[in-house]
Amino acid sequence: MTAYDLLFRRVLSRLDAETAHKGAFAAMRLAARVPGLAAYGRRRLTPSGGAAGGPAGGVEAFGLHFPGPLGLAAGFDKNAAGIDSLAGLGFAFVEVGTVTGRPQPGNPKPRLHRLVADRAVVNRMGFNNDGAAVVAARLARRRRRRGALPVVVGVNIGKSKVVPEAEAISDYEASTRLLAPYADYLVVNVSSPNTPGLRDLQAVELLRPLLTAVRAQADAVTSRRVPLLVKIAPDLSDDDVLAVAKLAVELELDGIIATNTTIGRDGLRSTPIAVERAGAGGLSGAPLAERSLEVLRLLRGSVGEQLTLVSVGGISTAEDAHARLKAGATLVQAYTAFIYGGPFWPARVQRDLARLLAED
């Protein structure tokens, strides 16, 4: 048992989950401002620093260079407030967001719960964020700042809750106009279960005009082609997964991120009382592993080598990540395992994954 395991069991697990998240994230950002500590962490923990490892030569995906295959999924840093502190812990790329066109407080609290027996989290945050204009300004300041780490930054965008479905495209376009100039890649999120009506946009007849509009808007406001991906839910039927894959190839998207959280609760180890107490929302963590891997294999079998696939959902160990890469993912992401594993988890997984890939 590590020191972080003891800290988590005796202190963090007894705090409200959202309070613990905010406190831990604040501590990470504070540590990143300590010059000697930050420099030491960069040398010892990041793939580019060498000690954390990474595949020889890194990973190339949608025209970008990644020092390693493991990144942080959207949801942890919703407002682009701590990109460098997270990169300094060993993540090869950081996806910020989900960011909406309008600032919004999210759903009422409490809205984040742990299911410790399952190493899982239930969230119904509701895209709480500062809004596209504020996040864009923050990304612009970071780009100008000397000393920012050379980490790949993805930006995940979603629909503002107050915007009706009929106006969803214009809302996504507004976010794209503001954020695309500062995104190394852009993700259209239509798969969170916590914004009413959002998952309806995964239907091909609604998704096609949305992705087409975002692509056109990104091209209009940037002098480069910003890689565009779509993030899908694990709760889609296999036929719907394949329909999205076909559409992504047709529209020449750069990739698909699979998968978001699930509304399912099957096969959990937690007691029914604990599950009921956690309430509604998206379930993330270890219980997603099987379905996420199934969706990845479906997608790779459908799209061949035409798209980059980013696998997320239930990745807890280097072996989990390795299995996703072997099944067809180019990159992998995690979030919940980072919460349970602590600040040294990403560097450890990155290093062990590099060893597994070298053995291959």
Residue 335, annotated as binding a ligand:
yes
Both structure tokens of 318: 């280097």
CA atoms of 188 and 320, how far apart (whole Å): 25
What are 39's two structure tokens?
Answer: 């420099």
**Of 48, 85, 191, 192, catalytic:** 192
Please give the pLDDT value at position 190. Answer: 85
- What is the structure's pLDDT at 23? 87
pLDDT at residue 21, as a whole number: 86
Judge whether 125 is annotated as a binding position.
yes
pLDDT computed for residue 101 by the predictor: 97
CATH of residue 263: 3.20.20.70
Give pLDDT, residue 44.
Answer: 57
User: Is 74 one of the annotated binding-site residues?
Assistant: yes
Q: Residue written as tokens 């180019």?
A: 330
**123/280 Cα distance (integer angstroms):** 8
Is position 19 annotated in a ligand binding site? no
Question: Peptide bond preceding 271: is omega within 30 degrees of 0, i.e. cis?
Answer: no
Q: What angle do CA 269, 271, 274 make, to 5 degrees?
A: 115
pTM of model > 0.85: yes
Is 28 annotated in some ligand binding site?
Answer: no
Q: Residue 281: what are its φ and ψ, rounded to 5°?
A: 130, -175
The verdict on whether 192 is a catalytic residue reads yes
Task: Give the chain's largest Cα–Cα span.
Answer: 54
Give the pLDDT confidence score for residue 16 in this predicted structure. Answer: 84
pLDDT at site 133? 98
pLDDT for the residue numbered 38: 55
Main-chain dihedrals φ then ψ at residue 345, nearest 5 degrees: -60, -50
Q: Tell me what pLDDT residue 141 has.
A: 93
Tally of structural domains, the chain: 1
- Does the annotation flag 156 for ligand binding? yes
Q: Can you give the pLDDT at residue 345?
A: 93
pLDDT of residue 277: 94
pLDDT beneath 50, residues of the chain: 49, 51
List the domain range (segments joined by +) for residue 110.
3-359
> What is the per-residue pLDDT across 208-223, written as a single tens digit (0 to 9) for each?
999 999 999 999 999 8
